[in-house]
Amino acid sequence: MTDISSPFDPAALDRLVRFGGEKLLASMIDVFRSNGRERLDAARAALDAGDAAAAALAVHSLKSSAAQLGAMKLSGLCADAEVAARAERLEPLAGSLPELVAAYDDAVRWMSGRVARQGSEG
């Protein structure tokens, strides 16, 4: 299991602001909101179809985006599910999907809160 000491890494969001300002951060969060949900839907569909390769691709993409945006718990859950799916094992993803969805929702709330706080302070 991937060890996640903290669900979120605020430094990741600060880093994105350094890379491209608040505009880049807001744009990346917007994309994460829509694409993340699509990846979760794709993972669920892949589970239903028993398609391990498609499941691995869906959680891999979500893992990458989540890590760049500091959603470390979500990224870790995706990493575990990806490793299993690449070994043709879908049970771990099936078991963790509710937790994965909850972690995604938590991550979106956390990111949105960061942007809202920045807006009110700026």
Partner 1 sequence: MKRIAVVEDNADNRLLLQALLGDQFQLTEYETGAEALAGLVQSPPDLVLLDISLPGMDGNEVLERIRADESIRHLPVIALTAHSMNGDREKFLARGFDDYVTKPIVDEMILFDAINSRIEG
Q: Which chain residues interact with partner 1 by CB under 8 A? A: 12, 15-16, 19-20, 24, 27-28, 31-32, 35, 57, 60-61, 63-65, 67-69
- How far apart are CB 92 and partner 1 at their closest, in Å? 18
Distances (CA, A) of 20 to 15, 63, 84, 95, 102: 9, 21, 35, 37, 29
- How far apart are CB 86 and partner 1 at their closest, in Å? 10
Q: Which helix (H) or strand (E) holds 38?
A: helix 10-49
- How far apart are CB 113 and partner 1 at their closest, in Å? 19
Whether the Cβ atoms of residue 92 and residue 24 lie closer than 8 Å to each other: no
CA pair distance 119, 122, nearest whole angstrom = 5
- How far apart are CB 9 and partner 1 at their closest, in Å? 10
